[in-house]
Each structure stands twice: as structure tokens, then as C-alpha cells.
Amino acid sequence: MTRDQVVEALGPDANPQNVGGAEPEQCDQFRPQRAPENMLLMIEQGKLSRIELDGPTDIRTPDGFTVGDPASAIKAKLGARLSAQPHKYVDAPAEYLSVWQNGVTPGEGGYVDDPSARGIVYEVGADGRVDHIFAGGPAIQYVEGCA
């Protein structure tokens, strides 16, 4: 989906004064006006690359999880399908729990670089609950917006 298609479907940036990336023509994050509350979209090279949920929402992943759910429930349901990585900035139990479609498995250092790969990352906070959910391609692995 292109940025123009996103804007046509969900409206323009609800907060155009906010900077969504250092080089917006390369990578930008924004909340379209008609997007659900607490949803951000990432556009890279003019195409949708990631959907982020960063607060309370009624939206659930295909496996039934949402922001605020305990990591223990995700681990119990998804088991060996999950790949866990330590959180970059917060001590355990904070972590990143990733699940990829179609048997994709992370390579060296837990990173997936196949541009056709699709997955979900559950960012777990210090309280053991999901703080953010990222869905899409390899951009779901970025920990600081467009980086």
C-alpha cells in the first residue's frame, strides 16, 4: 500500500507538525486522521512498512492479543513459534517477542532481513505486559521509530 493509498483510506496526518522521521521522504511515521486511536503507520520509500499500536485499543492480533496483555499469555499460546530478544533499554522481564509468518526464522542476532517476511513484534515492558505491538515487514524490528 502506498502512502497515497493510506491517506485516501484513512486521511492525512492528524499531527502534521510532529516529525515522524529524520528523512521523511525515506521513512516517516504518522497517525492518519481516521486511524484508530493509538495507531501509528510507518511509510518507507513511499510504501506502508509497519503498523504500530502504542496504547489502549480494541484491535487484536490474529492470535487474539492486544496492548496490555501479559507476555506469559503470548508465550503460552505461541510457544516455539516465538523468538525472544532482550529489550534494548529496559531490564527484564522487558523483552521483544517476535512471531513470523510462513516459517521465517530470525538469523544471526535474531534479525530477519527478508523484505517479503511478515510478522508481529510484541514489545514487553518492565511489568511483563505488552506496551507496543508492531506488525508488518522487517521494519517491525526497529526500536527507535525509523531506526
Q: Are 41 and 52 in contact (CB under 8 A)?
A: yes
pLDDT tier, 22 (very low <50, low <70, confident <90, very high otherwise): low
At residue 69, the pLDDT reads 98
Q: What are the residue ranges spanned by the domains of the chain?
A: 3-141
Residue 54 above 70 pLDDT?
Answer: yes
* pTM higher than 0.85: yes
Q: Minimal CA–CA distance to 83: which of 92, 74, 91?
A: 74
In this prediction, residue 108 carries a pLDDT of: 72
What distance in Å separates the CA atoms of residue 7 and residue 28, rounded to the nearest whole number?
Answer: 13
Task: Tell me the average pLDDT across 31-48.
Answer: 95
Look at residue 146 and tell me whether its pLDDT is greater than 90.
no
Q: When comparing pLDDT for 103 and 98, which is higher?
A: 98
C-alpha cell belonging to residue 28: 516517516
In the predicted model, is pLDDT for residue 134 greater than 80? yes
The pLDDT value recorded for residue 77 is: 98
